[in-house]
């Protein structure tokens, strides 16, 4: 372990999208360093299993709530429940997201909304519900959002995601200034490719859709990121060791976006038929997860 195993003792951290992928990895990392962790997602069973798995390793430190972050009332009520039943949060990780690759001309308004509202509205609602309580109670807090390097480069074929993530970057910089006087810090991380099951089903659903954004061979370091590397960065930002860092988005991508294959530009060569296959494969994956949703 790079950090002392108790360095987050006394911290209470909410991680949205904490039942799968990066969010689950972050939950495990923070709990292993002494934090109490609360995870959110829309699938109760997925959350329950993730919490149980981590708790078997670290003791009873991870708790879960089924919450759709696009619903402000549900977010406010769930944050209130944490405050009432456990105590104030000390940190928030805006990690939940929705995304899929699609030619922008073919996106339906609902397809756009599914992605943009999850990323942008969800991060705003959750940040505001925690921030308001911190300010009212004179508590400090740390917010870390999981962004992507497309906030600087843009990316074709994932335009609603690139737009909404850029908006969360703007929120990070804006509130870093507005809330600094309350001791509330806002930072973000911009990971390169860290392969996770659901993201790869959405973003690399068929052999034809494999491009630089999801491949390790075009990362200058020649490999994907490791969960512990991302965990250590987020841990630092959530800890008291980073009290003078605010308004920053820190890239963690092995040099990927500087070498420029990090977007979905390579999909320019896909035919309509290949797009239809990619859509069918990605939709089959989301239908499966939808059938498991509890909210």
Q: How far is the CB of 62 from ligand NDP (least distance, A)?
A: 14
| CB closest to ligand TC6, residue no | 108
Stretch that binds ligand TC6, among 50-58, 75-83, 193-201, 266-274 (CB under 6 A): 193-201
Q: Which is nearer to ligand TC6, 41 or 131 (CB)?
A: 41
Among 214, 246, 249, 263, binds ligand TC6 (CB under 6 A): 214
131 contact choice in ligand NDP, ligand TC6, none (CB below 5 to 8 Å, kind-dependent): none
Query: CA dihedral defined by 250, 252, 253, 257, rounded to 10 degrees?
Result: 0
Strand-pair partners of 94: 145
Between 135 and 227, whose beta carbon lies closer to ligand TC6?
227
Question: Which CB sits closer to ligand NDP, 183 or 196?
Answer: 196
Chain residues binding ligand NDP by CB under 6 A are 16-17, 19-23, 40-43, 46, 67-70, 95-98, 118, 122, 146, 148, 191, 193-194, 196, 198-199, 289
Q: Which stretch binds ligand TC6 (CB under 6 A): 2-10, 106-114, 173-181, 221-229?
A: 106-114
162 is a site residue for ligand TC6 (CB under 6 A): no
When binding is defined by CB under 6 A, the residue of 8, 203, 211, 230 that contacts ligand TC6 is 203
Q: How far is the CB of 106 from ligand NDP (least distance, A)?
A: 21
Binding footprint of ligand TC6 on the chain (CB under 6 A):
97-100, 102, 108, 110-111, 114-115, 148, 161, 193, 198-199, 202-203, 213-214, 279, 282-283, 286, 290
């Amino acid at each position: 372990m790079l950090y002392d195993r108790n360095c987050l003792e006394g911290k209470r951290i909410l991680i949205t999208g904490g039942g799968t992928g990066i969010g689950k990895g972050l939950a495990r990392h923070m709990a292993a360093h002494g934090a109490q962790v609360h995870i959110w997602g829309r699938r109760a069973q997925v959350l329950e299993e993730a919490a149980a798995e981590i708790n078997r390793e670290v003791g009873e430190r991870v708790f879960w709530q089924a919450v759709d972050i696009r619903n402000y009332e549900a977010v406010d009520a769930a944050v209130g429940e944490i405050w009432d039943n456990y105590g104030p949060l000390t940190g928030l990780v805006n990690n939940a997201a929705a995304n899929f690759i699609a030619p922008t001309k073919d996106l339906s308004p609902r397809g756009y909304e599914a992605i943009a509202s999850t990323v942008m509205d969800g991060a705003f609602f959750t940040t505001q519900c925690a921030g308001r309580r911190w300010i009212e109670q004179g508590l400090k807090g740390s917010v870390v959002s999981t962004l992507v390097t497309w906030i600087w480069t843009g990316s074709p074929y994932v335009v609603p995601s690139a737009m909404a993530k850029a908006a969360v970057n703007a929120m990070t910089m804006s509130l870093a200034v507005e809330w600094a006087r309350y001791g509330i810090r806002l930072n973000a991380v911009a990971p390169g490719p860290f392969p996770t099951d659901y993201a790869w089903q959405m973003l690399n659903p068929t052999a034809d859709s494999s491009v630089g954004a999801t491949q390790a061979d075009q990362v200058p370091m020649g490999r994907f990121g490791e969960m512990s590397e991302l965990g250590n960065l987020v841990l630092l930002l959530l800890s008291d060791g980073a009290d003078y860092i605010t308004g920053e988005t820190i890239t963690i991508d092995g040099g990927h976006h500087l070498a420029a294959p990090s977007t979905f530009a390579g999909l320019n060569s896909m035919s309509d038929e290949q797009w239809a296959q990619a859509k069918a494969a990605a939709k089959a994956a989301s239908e499966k997860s939808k059938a498991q949703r509890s909210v």
